[in-house]
Structure 1
Amino acid sequence: MHAEASGRPLGTLGLLRYAAASTGGVIGYTPLLTLLLPIKLQAFAPNDRYTLLVWCSVAGALTAGFANIAFGWLGDRSVARGGGRRGWMFAGLIATAASFVGIASARSGAAIVVAMVAFQVAVNALLAQVSALIAEEVPAAQKNTAAALLTIGAPLAAAASALVVALASHEGARLSLVAAMMAVCVAPLLLHAAPIVATVTSAEAEPLPVRRALAVAWTTRLLVQIANSGVSLYLFFFLARAIGQSGDAAAIVAQLLVVATLVPVPLALMLGRWSDRVGKRERFLAASALIACTGLLGMVLSGGWQAAGMCYVAFASGVSVFQALNTGHAMLLLPAGAGPGRNLGVLNLANTLPQVVAPLLALSVTTDDFTTLFALFATLPLAVTLLPTLLPMLLGAFTWRRREPSCRG
């Protein structure tokens, strides 16, 4: 049954606190994973740098998945005992800054991988609490608005990437700037507590059992994120090959990331509100997945880096809109009365597992030609358009067979 939304609606400033804190977490990892780590690995031979990039991604993603669940559960326990999550947020912020010191000082391949694992533990101690606070403190009637506002994190993080590259040339200085920007973003939510509101379940979950609806949301997000993780992992090298000697690849990629993350923000806000009014988010999710697929195919077929960059903007826009709508829907499907930290941590595996799968799909890459790999990734958002129909049917058939009585006489 659909529960009524509870809790006083939050004002714009209140909602922006959650968006800013989420942005702080995104700033923590975006410059590092998309620019600073690839730049650091440029010092290694091509075969070695790609192998190290895979290991950093796989080990980091596995660590992130388990850390997010663990810290979400620890936050749940703190709340159940009358405490709160903000102490874990503060610890995660400090630990992330400390992990940057380890990354900057790492020189060997093994040391870089270990430093990235430590970073993932630290940043997920922060991110797990921010997600759970949105689920706990934002009224149900504003969940989708809050989820759409989270899209501002990507362009601000991309701008931060460009800023740290422009303002500092030394790795340690760049990471120090990232840590400072994180602290500024997280501070408003860290210092402001809000009451917990009752967890509700969306009316859109009624036609299907909640578990099936969550399975659809989780699986479709997984597929889109595999494509997104793979493209993000190799974007710098893909465009650097196309740019060649005609420009500064690091600066061009940083600027492109800003554009590619600014465009989806108004789209996500508009479509988030629109989908709330008309219901049936599946059509909006399918449309955004098709845009992502088209953009990625355009990158594969493009003849120069300018065309590839424009297609990447289309791909990133489709992915960002899909993520926003999918996040809001999933939060509304969380079981009532259960600690959101652990459950959101499990759902977050759809974000972290792709960081394992995508590099493993690319283990055969030993050159700078990513055409076949990107074409493979393009099939995944295309498959997303079919899953909302096929997966519930498959799950329903499986459940029916399990419950079918024996006909033996």
Structure 2
Amino acid sequence: MIPTHPAYCPSSWWCAPRRDHVTAEPNAPGNRQSTRFLLLYALAYAGGFVAYVPFLTILLPVKMAVAAGDLKVEWLAAATLLGAIAASIANIAFGWASDLTRSRRPWIAAGLALTVAAYGLIHFASTPAMIVAAIVGWQITLNLMLAPLAALAADHVPDAQKGVLAGLLGAGQPFGSVAAIVVTLPGIEVEAVQFAVICAMFAAMVLPLFALHPRPIAPEPPVSAEQRLVRRRDLTLIWFARLFVQVACGVLFSFFLYYFQSLPGETVSVATVARTGGVTMLVAIPLALLLGRASDRIGARRPFLIGAALAMALGLGVMGATTTVPVAIMAYGLFGCASSIFLALQAVYTMQLLPSPNHRGRDLGLFNLTNTLPQLLSPVLAVTLVSGRSFATLMGTLALLAVGSAVLVLLVRSER
């Protein structure tokens, strides 16, 4: 007979554990996950970025330009809007479904396979309407993989290691940027080859996670009804704090080049802007790892989140006030590093505050709305606040959003 813990099904990797009964000491042997699992999970998480960053930023605009001609902007906007709606609904639905079935791996595997198939449908889509329909299907299959993958970390990584996990997850986005470079290399200009390369890369990054069974983690202590109410209130505050930051990041992501080109003096080259973004990402990775580990050691995330939000505000404020390129580059570097640290730590902090382990997938799906809503809000904000060639008002507004994010985190009562 195989001994099992009453709070777990026999395979902790296959099932999402319901942690309702046993209290464990924070430093107990059963309350630490293996380093190998953390690394493989971070690799799979980065695979999610590879699955969509090169396609959305480069390949989709190119394909839509060929299919739609002069109406490429309108059709691309339609694909972005409908895709974001589909992604939002699918992430919540599949996260909830993995909660109900108490399993994550079958959903991740199905999402992986169907996302590869969806790339095939996109390749054969030849009209703008067909492309938009294929994008909607692709977003659904992609989130079939991503939603349970996100919940998996909440299931199997204890609070004492979530800071390290945050630092590792912060390295995910650069993988997507590297993949975007790879699919534009000479000899890979054919769309079918580009899609095949993307599918091969993200599948190779996700599949190793299936070969590893994580260590069982000691269950959390029972949570009282009053504690659940406090956590729900705090999660609402954190939800809006992340939304504010994501709106700022969305605006900078979309108008990064235009901002630097608006500065007086010599014209800033595309290569300079690209190097600025790349160097910022490279610096942000070790900083996120260092501060994530520090937050584990002191057992608190809020000071780091507040500090990162205020650093973002400072960087945005300087970007809005300066008229010199070197100062703007340094200010953007501060903003980029601080935003990467904030988003990485906030993601794991949210996992710690979830009120019930039985609904992690659904609740994280609701938090995923902070990733999709800014896609709709950021362009409107930019168009409204950019006056001529001046970004000062826009940057000031984004700085206020960052300060607001810091205030919201300060109001959180839970520190776990």
Task: Determine if the TM-score, normalized by the shorter chain, exceeds 0.5.
Answer: yes
Give the equivalent residue in structure 2 for 1:357: 377
Fraction of identical pairs, as percent: 37
Give the equivalent residue in structure 1 for 2:42: 19
SS of 1:338's equivalent? helix
Deviations 1:230-250 (A, max 9, x none): 3223446656888xx98984x
1:319 is aligned to 2:342: no
d(CA) in 1 for partners of 2:369 and 2:173? 19
Q: Within 5 A, what are the aligned runs for 1:231-270?
A: 231-235=252-256, 249=270, 255-270=275-290
Give the equivalent residue in structure 1 for 2:176: 157
Q: Within 5 A, what are the aligned runs for 1:23-102?
A: 23-40=46-63, 48-79=71-102, 84-102=103-121
d(CA) in 2 for partners of 1:323 and 1:378? 16
Correspondence for 2:147 among 128, 140, 152: 128
TM-score normalised to structure 2 length: 0.79
User: How many pairs were matched up?
Assistant: 385
- Tell me, yes or no, if the aligned pair for 2:247 and 2:378 is still in contact at 8 Å: yes
Correspondence for 2:135 among 105, 111, 116: 116
TM-score normalised to structure 1 length: 0.80
Q: Tell me: CA distance 1:61–1:277, structure 2 relative to 1, closer, same or farther (3 Å).
A: same
The one-letter code matched in structure 2 to 1:200 is E
SS of 2:278's equivalent? helix
1:383 is aligned to 2:390: no
- C-alpha displacement of 1:46: 11
d(CA) in 2 for partners of 1:362 and 1:65? 23
- Tell me, yes or no, if the aligned pair for 1:58 and 1:359 is still in contact at 8 Å: no
- Tell me, yes or no, if the aligned pair for 1:69 and 1:128 is still in contact at 8 Å: yes
- Tell me, yes or no, if the aligned pair for 1:136 and 1:199 is still in contact at 8 Å: no
Q: Tell me: CA distance 1:104–1:13, structure 2 relative to 1, closer, same or farther (3 Å).
A: same
Give the equivalent residue in structure 1 for 2:231: 210
SS of 1:335's equivalent? coil
The one-letter code matched in structure 2 to 1:124 is N
SS of 1:353's equivalent? helix
Q: Tell me: CA distance 1:289–1:2, structure 2 relative to 1, closer, same or farther (3 Å).
A: farther
- C-alpha displacement of 1:303: 5.3
d(CA) in 2 for partners of 1:56 and 1:370? 29
Correspondence for 1:103 among 103, 122, 135: 122
SS of 1:169's equivalent? coil
- C-alpha displacement of 1:75: 1.4
Q: Tell me: CA distance 1:78–1:172, structure 2 relative to 1, closer, same or farther (3 Å).
A: same
Q: Tell me: CA distance 1:257–1:202, structure 2 relative to 1, closer, same or farther (3 Å).
A: farther
SS of 2:171's equivalent? helix
Give the equivalent residue in structure 1 for 2:5: none
CA RMSD of aligned residues (A): 3.7
1:289 is aligned to 2:309: yes
- Tell me, yes or no, if the aligned pair for 2:234 and 2:412 is still in contact at 8 Å: no
Q: Tell me: CA distance 1:217–1:201, structure 2 relative to 1, closer, same or farther (3 Å).
A: farther
SS of 1:135's equivalent? helix
- Tell me, yes or no, if the aligned pair for 1:201 and 1:336 is still in contact at 8 Å: no
d(CA) in 2 for partners of 1:307 and 1:49? 36
Q: Identify the range of structure 1 (98-107 vs 158-167) with the bigger mean alpha-carbon deviation.
A: 98-107
1:220 is aligned to 2:203: no
Q: Identify the range of structure 1 (188-197 vs 312-321) with the bigger mean alpha-carbon deviation.
A: 188-197
The one-letter code matched in structure 1 to 2:248 is A
Give the equivalent residue in structure 2 for 1:344: 364
Q: Within 5 A, what are the aligned runs for 1:130-145?
A: 130-145=149-164
